[in-house]
Structure 1
């Protein structure tokens, strides 16, 4: 009887090939997503760490040049800060010991004299420090270094650098990594379905042969290829099919021989009964029983 649509769908989704394929696909997606996430996180950490180190190096160089410009010449501090900011690729701000803005390299006079509170991680009296902060879609690195003029503490020099270019490069690289990860997942999924097919196909062949035997075609043989377990299963099936076919052949031969052996004496009994005299009714009943036995024997020959 043909299978209904829902039955065929359930049979397909419940098959070993389908389950193995889906398992390989999910495994590929999870592993690829995990590896891609690790790669993105690692690249981000390394890139931002390099940006902080570069900002520290830039602000230290700017501090040395700014100190020389203030101490050894009559240069305008604001002009020096502006030029150093251009060279460092950011904005240079001189904060006094009390945290008040003395010079802004961008020339923002409204900021001069204002107290600028720095985060704790950027305040270290003896060493430089840098941190990257995000505000909305903007990435900004802040780097500070203690400033000394004539060997006297003069506050801190702050470098503010916009990382818009770095952010764009990072997003582009992340997109490429996820694209490569998606492609790798698809390839892994395709390979998974091929592996699932190679594992399930021998079982499907053996199943088809078993169904043919159930339908009455007992002479079945399957190829024994694949893994050790599949080869063992194939050999066991072939041995079983051969034994079943031999038993069926022997059964048919026995039945045929028995039927032939029984037909001859039955025919003789019928001929003898027909030639006998006596009660006609009893004689006809005896002949009918012989005919019945003859039909049974003939039926044996058709098995």
Structure 2
């Protein structure tokens, strides 16, 4: 247990957590001690106050009895009371109802030293504050007694009891601190173990171990964090695989036109071929292939910043889609694919350049997969505040295992043509999201594919 405690306390967070438990235990014990001592102090003060009040009332009753017996104040009788008053250790002075002095202990030759000696002998403590008390006989005030009675002392048994309680509280505080420290260590160990494991997994992932995952997943917020980390790591690993495959594909596709261009140019340099129109056309075609690849890479980079660079304005989505369809009509006709449209009038607030890119990417994607004699239908509708653009084709469809990945960057279907880079749909999806919309796909092998773009529509 102590080894585990030393190991745990090396961690800053775990150390703070364990010490917080210990501090809580000590604080609780100290607070209890303060409350108990406050209660004792109040009790003792009340006890002493009651003692003073009792002595004061006894003296008042003594002087009232003397007045009642003599029928008035007589100095000789009052002098005879002096020893009794002296034994209490109190100072006393009697005034008549008019406020004139009638008698005092000094008149009976009792000095302060004698009173102090009696207080010391009786153990009654020092004198308290002076009080003026009325002396009444049969409901009539016959004088005023000015007295100072001893404050009294706390009994030794009570002091011993308070001391024993304080000792018990001190021992309890130490015990509570130890128990709290042990509980804190145990709790901190359980609480921080998943965090430490997750930290190590993150460090390993950052160091290049793409297969590293968090294995400790408790059923709490830390478990949710670990699950999110694993999901992120899966995505990173998948994108790394796609990126490597994409890099290999791009390198291959770049190598082919570059090799053709190089061979053609070397043939011209060596005099094997003449720089005629056929050679120039071949070089031009290969240059166009390179240009398309570079354009796709630029589109991917620009899609990342689309949300920050959109130049929105109200526009007719209907006119934009119709214009995009017209621009690609020749390519569809050349490929032997029928292109149909069914467009309602819908307006949106969007960037026309980015929006055309979304539509064009979907149409060119359909053109890659739909065989000659197939049909592509473009339908635009408005409903529930959304503009909904559907591009449906009669192509071969997308396999179920590929459908969830078609919007991933760098992903290329097994059925894709060699001139594709696998970026178009990813760019279209990100541009749709930048406009506050979505791009989804439904497909079944042998029954074609339908891409649906939903964008916030402007009121009619």
Q: If the length of structure 2 is used for normalisation, what is the TM-score?
A: 0.36
Cα distance in 2, alignment partners of residues 11 and 172 from structure 1 = 37
Higher relative helix content = 1
Tell me, in whole angstroms, the C-alpha distance in 1 between the residues paired with 2:107 and 2:150: 13
Q: State the distance in 2 between where 1:164 and 1:15 align.
A: 51
Q: Summarize the Cα distance change of 1:188–1:103 in structure 2 as closer, same or farther, 3 Å threshold.
A: farther
Corresponding position of 2:220 = 227
1:17 Cα deviation after fit: 1.1
Q: Is the 8 A contact 1:96 1:156 kept in 2?
A: yes
1:131-160 per-position Cα deviation (integer Å, ceiling 9, x unaligned) = xxxxxxxxxxxxxxx799x93345436245
Structure 1: how far apart are the matches of 2:66 and 2:152?
Answer: 23
Is the alpha carbon distance of 1:160 and 1:69 closer, same or farther for their aligned partners in structure 2, counting shifts above 3 Å? farther
Q: 1:157 to 1:22 in 2, by over 3 A?
A: closer
Asked whether 1:25 is paired with 2:17, we answer no
Aligned to 2:194: 202
**Secondary structure of the residue that 1:161 maps to in structure 2?**
coil
Structure 1 residue 47: Cα displacement: 1.6
Query: Mapping of 1:131-146 within 5 angstroms?
Result: none
Structure 1 residues 54 and 239: alpha-carbon distance in aligned structure 2, compared to 1, 3 A threshold: same
Number of residue pairs matched? 215
Q: 1:125 aligns with which of 117, 125, 132?
A: 132
Cα displacement (A) at 1:42? 2.1
Distance 2:128 2:173 in 1: 36
Mapped to 2, the partners of 1:208 and 1:100 lie a distance apart of 90
In 1, Cα distance between equivalents of 2:193 and 2:52: 63
Change (3 A) 1:187 1:99: farther
- 1:43 pairs with 2:43: no
Shift of 1:250: 7.3
CA distance in 2, matches of 1:205, 1:194: 17
Larger Rg: 2
TM-score, normalised by the number of residues in structure 1: 0.51
* Cα distance, 1:236 vs structure 2: 1.7
- The answer for the alignment partner of 2:92 in structure 1 is 95
Aligned pairs for 1:1-303 within 5 A:
13-30=10-27, 32-33=29-30, 35-36=31-32, 38-64=34-60, 66-67=62-63, 70=66, 72=69, 77=81, 80=84, 91-97=88-94, 100=106, 111=114, 122-126=129-133, 151-153=142-144, 155-156=146-147, 158-165=149-156, 166-210=158-202, 214=207, 216=209, 218=211, 220-228=213-221, 230-244=222-236, 246=238
Q: What is the SS of the residue equivalent to 1:189?
A: helix
* Matched residue SS, 2:114: coil
Q: Deviations over 1:10-52 (max 9, x none)?
A: 995453212322234335434543x135314521431233223
User: Following the alignment from structure 2 to structure 1, what is the Cα–Cα distance between the partners of residues 105 and 160?
Assistant: 33
**Whole-Å separation in 1 of the counterparts to 2:15 and 2:172:** 26
Structure 2 Cα separation of the partners of residues 181 and 22 of structure 1 = 14
**Paired residues of 1:69 and 1:80 also in contact (CA < 8 A):** no
> How far does residue 244 in structure 1 lie from its aligned partner after superposition?
4.9
Secondary structure (helix, strand or coil) at the match of 2:49 reads helix
2:149 match: secondary structure = strand
CA shift at 1:225, angstroms?
Answer: 1.2
Distance 1:12 1:174 in 2: 32
What is residue 330 of structure 2 aligned with on the other side?
A: none
Within 2, Cα distance between the matches of 1:157 and 1:239?
A: 84
**Larger RCO, structures 1/2 (Cα 8 Å, 6+ apart):** 1
Contact 2:131 2:147 in 1 (8 A): no
CA RMSD of aligned residues (A): 5.0
| Gap change, CA 1:174 and 1:102, over 3 Å in 2 | farther
